[in-house]
Amino acid sequence: MSELTPKHMKDSQVAMIELVLPNDTNILQNLLGGRLMHWMDIAAAMAASRHCNNVAVTAVVDDLSFHEPIKLGNIVSLCANVNRAFNTSMEVGIKVEVEDFRTGEKKHSNSAYFTFVCVDLETGKKMPVPAIIPDSPLENKWFNDALVRRTQRLNQKHGIIHN
């Protein structure tokens, strides 16, 4: 497959599961925010690399929100996929669920949008990435919303603010 052949969103999906152990927690026995961000970055990087079949590096993290605390012993599920590809960058959406293994109760804990850039290993320069093909109404929403977020991010970067 050519590296610029458009790909389906589902082809980039990554599911990752972690168990919160004592070394992952703070004094309140809650998962450290930095540890969760690390796990999210890994899941997002795998999704981006799957999409571009190359190394992808983190460029931006948007809207990382902490909705629910994650406790010692909880099971953490991270789901990531590329929402949209631009010229050399990709937006990866990540959803985190936390499960209490004793009760089976699952809650949405965190979400974020990461922007990754495809990088040539030899030159370190940015490389073009394949386009994304959304296949469902939900994927179309993610695809369209990614463009809105990118436009807002670029406007903010260039000092163009709309209220």
Structure confidence at residue 134 (pLDDT):
96
Integer Cα distance of 8 and 27 in angstroms: 43
For residue 2, pLDDT over 60 is answered with no
Q: How confident is the model at residue 162 (pLDDT cuts 50, 70, 90)?
A: low
Residue ranges of E strands in the chain: 7-8, 14-19, 55-66, 75-85, 89-99, 106-119, 132-133
Integer Cα distance of 15 and 121 in angstroms: 26
> Which CATH number applies to 7-157: 3.40.225.10, 3.10.129.10, 3.40.50.150, 3.50.50.60?
3.10.129.10
Structure confidence at residue 163 (pLDDT):
52
Share of the chain above pLDDT 90, in %: 83
**Cα 134 from chain centre:** 17
The partner residues of 66 in beta bridges, in order of sequence, read 110
For residue 18, pLDDT over 80 is answered with yes
Integer Cα distance of 147 and 141 in angstroms: 10
Q: How confident is the model at residue 1 (pLDDT cuts 50, 70, 90)?
A: very low
Token representation of residue 113: 């949008």
Integer Cα distance of 120 and 100 in angstroms: 41
Token representation of residue 55: 């190394």
* Domain locations in the chain as residue ranges: 7-157
